[in-house]
Amino acid sequence: MIAVVNIELYRYEIHSLLKAFYPQETVKVFVGEPDAGRYPDPAFLRVQFEENRIKMQITGEGGPVSDEKGAGETVSLTRSVEAPEGAVFNVKGPECKTAAKHLLYEMLSEYTGTVLPWGELIGIRPTKIAMTRLREGDTPDEAAAYMEREHYVSTEKAVLAAEIAQREREILSGIHYENGFSLYVGIPFCPTTCLYCSFTSFPLTSWKERVDEYLDALEREMEAGAPLMRGKILDTLYIGGGTPTTLEPEQSRRLIGMIGHYFDLSSLQEFTVEAGRPDSITADKLAVLKECGVGRISVNPQTMRDKTLKLIGRQHSAAQTADAFRLARKAGFDNINMDIILGLPGETEEDVRYTIDAIKELGPDDLTVHSLAVKRASRLQKWIEKNGFSSICNTDGSMKIAAEGAASMGMHPYYLYRQKNMSGNFENVGYAKDGKAGIYNILIMEEKQSILALGAGSISKGVFPGGRIERCDDAKEVSVYIEHIDEMIERKRKLYAT
């Protein structure tokens, strides 16, 4: 365990940076001194916020910070930063926050001998920084240089962020920000729950007899939600999950028919259904989706190694993934996304190359490359506790293999986001061929358009004049969502009335 003694300032930022350097460790941040009986080991990090300076001290076994100290010998590293004129460092403020993050990052880099690809950034939307700089008149090169200088981001990642921000601006040039919205509809059922998953999903075997009851609740939410968006243009529609293709063909037809009844789909720029699991895809289901106007779908292998698929709890083979993809092409879909995850248990760079080569043979239009994120709510956390953290490993080499593979298929990076506890402290990147980028994916990250989200576990977002953003969520448990649908509706009424 890594212990931090700290007053009540920037606990989240301090905790997140420490986890970035020490992902395998438990990090606890204390206000004041911890109970010596319960926590007998001295603090690894002490932070002191004074009016005119911030002081930090790291104490631990010898490492790169000292060539003279060997393993097992105690090393103490102390640094401080003075407040500029007019700034106060013992209350929350932008100067204090920036100084604290910079100082801690510099010390941890010196102590561990490690630099992080995204520097001291801990947020999930680093491209928003580059986007802001572009809007303020920077060139992409200037935006990248700003991220390097102000946030210690590596040159490679800063250039990537600026490139993506520039491409996002071009893709979203026709989006109705002030007078438009996007619609998300969640189907929280899956064939099985994957080892790494923390999304709202429930095994279909347990809920098969209540799916229509869930659709009844969704219809009530649609009926009440549509008037909240009256007068606004619906730009994108995304049916996600879970796995929407766990629905039977007639249930899918009913769902999309409901959406079309309550919402005007005539101005849609994108209609996506996350088919996702190959073991949920059939020719009949694809035919219904195509008939109902769906233009973009996902067929997500995560890996093309059968041994890994079995380990992570996906009840299909790589061959079934290829069969499902070909079924989708035969059904007429010309915009198919595939997702992969780097850093899955036991996988190496050679496994990543194998997966990329197999995907290249299929030729998708869009490839989303995820770095494995270890979620506390997933079964993966317990698996790691049993098998060790070293059993999962994403590398810069794996990221480059995926990026080069996407480029060889004629794809360009178009959106990026990060998550907590990502393997290798990397990122998730969406690559797409020209004209095939997932618009909804960008809108989620950019946060410039309201999103009405319906269904268990969904989160609606209101974007209001001046850039203010408010959110409300629906209950995650399907039974709670169904039984309290009136409360879910009332939450949205309050959100969009503000």
Would you list the DSSP string of 295-313?
A: -EEEE--B-S-HHHHHHTT
- Assign residue 369 a region (left: φ > 0; alpha: ψ between -120 and 50; beta: otherwise): beta
Residue 381 pLDDT: 61
CB–CB of 89/49 below 8 Å? yes
Residue after which a domain boundary falls, among 112, 143, 163:
112
187 and 61 within one domain: no
- Residue 394 sits at φ, ψ, to 5 deg, of -100, 145
157 and 227 belong to one structural domain:
no
- Cα gap 16→30, rounded to integer Å: 14
149: containing domain: 127-172
Residues 227 and 310 in one domain: yes
In-domain check, residue 198 = yes
In our burial notation (b when 16+ CB lie closer than 10 A, e otherwise), range 3-32 reads bbbbeebbeebbbbbbbbbebeeebbbeee
Task: Specify the pLDDT at position 228.
Answer: 97
Residues 6+ positions from 24 with CB-CB distance below 8 Å: 389
Do both 149 and 233 map to the same domain? Answer: no
How does strand 428-432 pair with strand 412-417?
Answer: antiparallel
For the chain, the domain total comes to 3
pLDDT for res 150: 96
pLDDT in the model for residue 479: 93
Residues 167 and 179 in one domain: no
Spatial contact of 28 and 2, defined as CB atoms under 8 Å apart: yes
Q: Would you say residue 117 lies in a domain?
A: no
Same-domain pairing of 474 and 355? yes
* Residue 85 within any structural domain of the chain: yes
Judgement on whether residues 156 and 89 belong to the same structural domain of the protein: no
Same domain, 67 and 144: no
29, part of any domain = yes
pTM, two decimal places? 0.91
- What is the domain-level CATH number for residue 191? 3.80.30.20
| Rounded Cα distance, 216 and 384, in Å | 40
Per-residue pLDDT tens listing for the chain (498 residues): 788 888 789 999 999 999 999 888 889 999 888 877 777 676 789 999 999 999 999 988 756 665 555 556 778 899 999 999 989 999 999 999 999 999 999 999 999 999 999 999 999 999 999 999 999 999 999 999 999 999 999 999 999 999 999 999 999 999 999 899 999 999 999 877 666 665 555 677 778 889 999 999 999 999 999 999 999 999 999 999 889 999 999 999 999 999 999 999 999 999 999 988 898 999 999 999 999 999 999 999 999 999 999 888 888 899 999 999 999 999 999 999 999 999 898 899 999 999 999 999 999 999 999 998 766 656 666 666 666 656 677 899 999 999 999 999 999 999 999 988 787 789 999 999 999 999 999 999 989 999 999 999 999 999 998 889 999 999 999 999 999 999 999 999 999 986
Task: Tell whether 187 and 257 lie within a shared domain.
Answer: yes
- Decide: 225 and 494 in contact? Cβ < 8 Å: no
Element (H, E) at 478: helix 478-483
CA of 486: how far to CAs of 230, 489, 490, in Å? 20, 5, 6
Q: How confident is the model at residue 152, as a pLDDT? A: 97
Predicted pLDDT of residue 466 = 87
Instruction: Write out the H or E segment, with its range, that includes residue 427.
Output: none
Q: Decide if 34 is inside a domain.
A: yes
> With contact defined as beta carbons under 8 Å apart, do 311 and 194 qualify?
no
97 and 238 together in one domain: no
452 with 354, same domain? yes
Sheet of 428-432, strands arranged across: 412-417, 428-432, 366-371, 336-342, 296-299, 270-276, 233-241, 180-187, 450-454, 459-463, 469-473
d(CA 402, CA 344): 14
